[in-house]
Amino acid sequence: LIISGTGQQSNEFRNNSPGQLVINNCIFEGGNSISSDVWYNLGLAETCNVGYGAAIVADGQTVVQISGSTIKTFEGPAVRASNGARVSIDRNTVLDNNGLRNRNTLSSMQTNVVCEGDSGVTTINIALDNVTSFASTGNAWIYQQSYTNCFVTATVNYEPAQPRSVPYGNSANITVDNKDQTVEVAINGKFLEPCMRTLFLGLIEKYSVDQRTPQEFLIENPLFTNQWISSEILVILIPSYLLNSLNSSFEWQVSVYELGKKDQANWITVKPSIIGEVGPDQPGDETEVEPKESKSKTTLIVSIVVPVVVIAAVIIIIVVIALYVRHKNKEQRSNDSNIQLIDILSGVEVRSLKEEDEQEEQNNPNKQKHKPQTHVSTYFFPESDTEKRISSEHSNSRDYEPDQKQRQIQNQ
């Protein structure tokens, strides 16, 4: 059913004025089922075509009012509004399993209402009291383009409610592959579909003092490799050099959040796992080159300084040993000199003249004793022949004088 600002639509209940459609107590049922092929094995771009297969399309300056009706199992949304349309859905209207992506990777995804604000101001007012997905999961699956002229107001029991659930993570795994120079971030949670919204990946070192603001990346970054395993599991492969400011030895915190709703993000604490050996530098990985160059310089300096220090230490030890040996030799020579002097002094003989005379009288009994006179004879070396003659003459002179005196007395 399509209604636009030009033309008149009618149904079996009443005629509608131009640009206005009122649906009251009607049942609309589509053919989408568990076995349906419409979304089977489609890629992400086709899966995120949220406006496809709508039950009601309100375009331009039109007004659509739905009350007390049921719209279910359509391949696309119950209502699609754009270009200034105004839509209201009351709390007695049932929206059930519309746009369910059966047989698709994002199999839990639905599309109940889509608001596209291309031109003009498009508004949707909806009560979620009888939206089955909201009752079961808390997600009404109402899409609106961010930062466009599209405004959605949702209520439950007349209280404000959130039209679409934000991404939510229950757990995460982070693997740092040193060989491939990549970081794999796997997030398990709910409502991780990127369709008609901008998602960010936030990473931060948990206890970092220097880094207080998370590193933020668009999930659909062209440098990333993303894989949605399902609406509950998202795997992101990131080049390592983009995360050089994070230390993989410590715990990280990770989150996926919608643009403009960072305050609603929940952060998961995880300790990265490190695998693989460090491989060769990857092109463009300039930040990795600098630390390696610094490490090489440090290694070179150490390889030069350490041998120099060792050689200097060996030289010092040798000098100390040489000085010690020299000192010991000097002491030994001094001791030897003292011993030699003692030996020389021990060879000195002190004798009295009386002892000499007694010895001579024993040898020559005819000689008269003379007055003893003590003298010291020192023998350091053997006497020469000249010294012996002088000593003999002195001895003969002493013997001759008493004999001469005795003869003079007799003559008198």
> Do 61 and 184 reside in the same domain of the chain?
no
> Do 27 and 152 reside in the same domain of the chain?
yes
Query: In terms of Cα–Cα distance, which of 119, 132, 100 is closest to 61?
Result: 119
Assigned domain for 295 exists: no
> Do 128 and 203 reside in the same domain of the chain?
no
Cα 73 to chain center, whole Å? 51
Helix (H) or strand (E) run with residue 351 in it: none
Secondary structure letter of residue 29 according to DSSP:
E
Assigned domain for 316 exists: no
Helix (H) or strand (E) run with residue 361 in it: helix 353-363
Mean pLDDT value of segment 275-283:
61
> Do 177 and 152 reside in the same domain of the chain?
no
Assigned domain for 327 exists: no
More confident residue, 398 or 125: 125
Which of 217, 245, 279 is at the close of a domain?
A: 279
Assigned domain for 334 exists: no
Cα 245 to chain center, whole Å? 8
CA–CA distance from 144 to each of 115, 118, 265 (Å)? 5, 11, 19
Q: Is 353 helix (H, G, I), strand (E, B) or coil?
A: helix
> Do 13 and 144 reside in the same domain of the chain?
yes
> Do 143 and 186 reside in the same domain of the chain?
no
Q: Is 113 helix (H, G, I), strand (E, B) or coil?
A: strand
More confident residue, 61 or 12: 61
Supply the CATH number for residue 259's domain.
Answer: 2.60.40
Q: How many CB atoms lie within 10 A of CB 345?
A: 8
Q: What's the pLDDT band for 110 if we cut at 50, 70, 90?
A: very high
Which of 279, 306, 326 is at the close of a domain?
A: 279
> Do 7 and 152 reside in the same domain of the chain?
yes
Assigned domain for 302 exists: no
> Do 55 and 108 reside in the same domain of the chain?
yes
Q: What's the pLDDT band for 326 if we cut at 50, 70, 90?
A: confident
Using H for helix, E for strand and C for coil, what is the string for 119-156? CCCEEEEEECCCEHHHHHHCCCCEEECCCCCEEEEEEE
> Do 12 and 141 reside in the same domain of the chain?
yes
Rounded-to-5 percentages of helix, strand, coil across the chain? 30, 30, 45
List CB contacts of 218: < 8 A, sequence separation 6 or more. Answer: 198, 199, 200, 201
> Do 12 and 142 reside in the same domain of the chain?
yes
Exposure string of 121-140, with b = 16+ CB inside 10 Å and e = fewer, is ebbbebbbbbbbbbeeeebb
Q: What's the pLDDT band for 31 if we cut at 50, 70, 90?
A: very high
pLDDT of 310 over the 90 cut: no
Q: What is the pLDDT of residue 266?
A: 93
More confident residue, 289 or 110: 110
Q: Containing domain of residue 213, as a range?
A: 168-279
d(CA 63, CA 348): 148
pTM of the model: 0.64
pLDDT of 341 over the 60 cut: no
> Do 65 and 50 reside in the same domain of the chain?
yes
Contact 357, 370 (CB under 8 A): yes
Mean pLDDT value of segment 63-73:
97
Domain total in the chain: 3
Specify the range with the lowest mean pLDDT, choosing from 7-11, 39-43, 175-179. 7-11
Q: Which pLDDT tens digit goes with each residue over 346-391?
A: 554 545 555 556 666 666 655 444 444 444 444 444 444 444 444 5
Using H for helix, E for strand and C for coil, what is the string for 203-233? EEECCCCCCCCCEEEECCCCCCEEEECCCCE
